[in-house]
Amino acid sequence: MDFQFLGGASEIGSLGLVVRDQGRTLLFDYGMTPTDPPSYPQPAPPTIDVAVLSHAHLDHSGMTPILSRLPKARLVATPVTLAVANLLTRDALKIARLEGYLAPFTTNDISSYGSRATAVDRHGTFRHRGIEIEFTPAGHIPGASMTLYRGAKDILFTGDLQTIPTHLVGGAESVECDVLVMESTYAGKEHPDRKETERRFRDKVAETIARGGKVIVPAFAVGRAQEVLMALASSGFETYLDGMARAVNSIYLSAPEYLRDSKRFRHALDGVHVIEHPSERKKALREGEVIVTTGGMLDGGPVLYYVGELYRDANSSILLTGYQVDGSNGRQLLDEGTMTIDDTTIRPMCEIGKFDFSAHAGHSDLVRFAESTRAETVVLMHGDRRELLRDALSGFADVILPANGPSFTIE
């Protein structure tokens, strides 16, 4: 079997893996990196039988619309993933236009690839011309799936993986395979205790409100904003939600079986004021105590409006809830205490905090998961410190750290 990463082997972003086996060509994920400017993986091969999408985040899904230009490529994913990926790729196109970048696909591509997609249940099996792919939940976010391709060898592709349960989804369960292709985002890093993190987060929110400030919570629209809202449920804070997360909420509500506890999710949303129109933002600032809003790295979206209004207020807080990539405003804020809005650099007076609400398995969880699959070969991808996992795994499996571009073979 022949493997080739088009991108995302040694970095977090632009993931794409081509697998060739017995005359078939499969593509696992095809993402972009939504930086400024965006970056893209290598072109996909001209013939692909099946493209399997693990989940909707743009670093996994952002290039899938261009597959509509290939003659017979079928796109396969859970219905939740297909719906959210459609939303995110349309948004990526809008942002590219606003920022003056040439996008690699058009609105037409997004629409026509939708018509060629096949939705597979989260525990379902896809069969097409002798190809068989089994889906199983990956934790991470609703709809995220690990996929097991039954070929000359059984290959398990994890996409992004979370083994511990979160508010939104249960943890991934083990699947036996011959070859495990596993994400490595948290190689060498462990997460702090989740319950303790949430307690500190709620305490910081309460402390800010008590001193007369407002809390801005920048959060990614897909998964993170919902997780934060569930962590705040029943706390009694006046909470507002702004940005694309509300469209994602509707998709999640329409597929309750993809949530760990849809009743609790609905209940968490019941207590939240949703901003439907930019004219309502002043009300959120006046009457709200907590504003959960996109973008999660402070690089765009309604969060910039709220920061612009509150950055001089030392009583207020900006509480980051996600990974802040190098070069992002969020990273600049954590490292230097400044951020840049429309070419103007500001130094917010607010208190700055960061809380680990990660949807990825930590180092030890990844090691345990890999061991439990009984894989003879582990291919590590989607990480910039993979050698730390290789050291931990090499006692029980052959470990491969591929590079982007060249093919490699597993017999």
Binding mask 118-157 for Zn ion (x = CB under 5 A): ----------------------------------------
Check binding of 281 to Zn ion (CB under 5 A).
Answer: no
Least distance (Å) between residue 157 CB and Zn ion? 13
Nearest CA to 351 among 217, 254, 248? Answer: 217
Which residue number, 57 or 281, has a Cβ lying nearer to Zn ion? 57
Least distance (Å) between residue 57 CB and Zn ion? 4
Which residue number, 213 or 295, has a Cβ lying nearer to Zn ion? 295
- 27 burial type by CB count under 10 A (0-12 exposed, 13-18 middle, 19+ buried): buried
User: In 149-188, where does DSSP find H-type helix?
Assistant: none
C-alpha to C-alpha distances, 51 to 100, 103, 389, nearest whole angstrom: 29, 21, 27
Torsions phi, psi for 126 (to 5 deg): -100, 130
Binding mask 221-250 for Zn ion (x = CB under 5 A): ------------------------------
Helix (H, G, I), strand (E, B) or coil at 211: coil
Token representation of residue 280: 């309502």
From 160-168, 200-208, 306-314, 364-372, give the range in contact with Zn ion by CB under 5 A.
Answer: 160-168
Which residue number, 59 or 351, has a Cβ lying nearer to Zn ion? 59
Which residue number, 351 or 365, has a Cβ lying nearer to Zn ion? 365
Least distance (Å) between residue 149 CB and Zn ion? 20
| 5 strand-pairing partners | 17, 404
Least distance (Å) between residue 185 CB and Zn ion? 9
From 20-28, 56-64, 131-139, 178-186, give the range in contact with Zn ion by CB under 5 A.
Answer: 56-64
From 10-18, 27-35, 51-59, 280-288, give the range in contact with Zn ion by CB under 5 A.
Answer: 51-59
Least distance (Å) between residue 222 CB and Zn ion? 8
From 158-166, 213-221, 275-283, 299-307, give the range in contact with Zn ion by CB under 5 A.
Answer: 158-166
Separation CA 30–CA 48 (nearest Å)? 12
Which residue number, 291 or 380, has a Cβ lying nearer to Zn ion? 380
Separation CA 30–CA 392 (nearest Å)? 28
Which residue number, 85 or 304, has a Cβ lying nearer to Zn ion? 85
| CA 150 to chain CA mean position, Å | 26
Residues that contact Zn ion, how many (by CB under 5 A) = 2
Least distance (Å) between residue 309 CB and Zn ion? 31
Least distance (Å) between residue 60 CB and Zn ion? 6
Least distance (Å) between residue 144 CB and Zn ion? 7
From 54-62, 167-175, 259-267, 348-356, give the range in contact with Zn ion by CB under 5 A.
Answer: 54-62
Q: Are 214 and 282 in contact (CB under 8 A)?
A: no
Which residue number, 159 or 348, has a Cβ lying nearer to Zn ion? 159
Check binding of 331 to Zn ion (CB under 5 A).
Answer: no
Is the Cα dihedral 71, 75, 79, 85 positive or negative? Answer: negative
> Exposure string (b/e) for 259-295, b if CB count within 10 Å is 16 or more?
bbbbeebeebbeebbebeeeeebeebeeebbbbbbbb
- DSSP letter assigned to residue 68: G
> Exposure string (b/e) for 61-74, b if CB count within 10 Å is 16 or more?
bbbbbbbbebeebb
| CA 353 to chain CA mean position, Å | 21
C-alpha to C-alpha distances, 100 to 91, 104, 167, 188, nearest whole angstrom: 14, 13, 38, 38
Which residue number, 60 or 281, has a Cβ lying nearer to Zn ion? 60
From 57-65, 252-260, 281-289, 382-390, give the range in contact with Zn ion by CB under 5 A.
Answer: 57-65
Check binding of 160 to Zn ion (CB under 5 A).
Answer: yes
Interface contacts to Zn ion, rule CB under 5 A: 57, 160
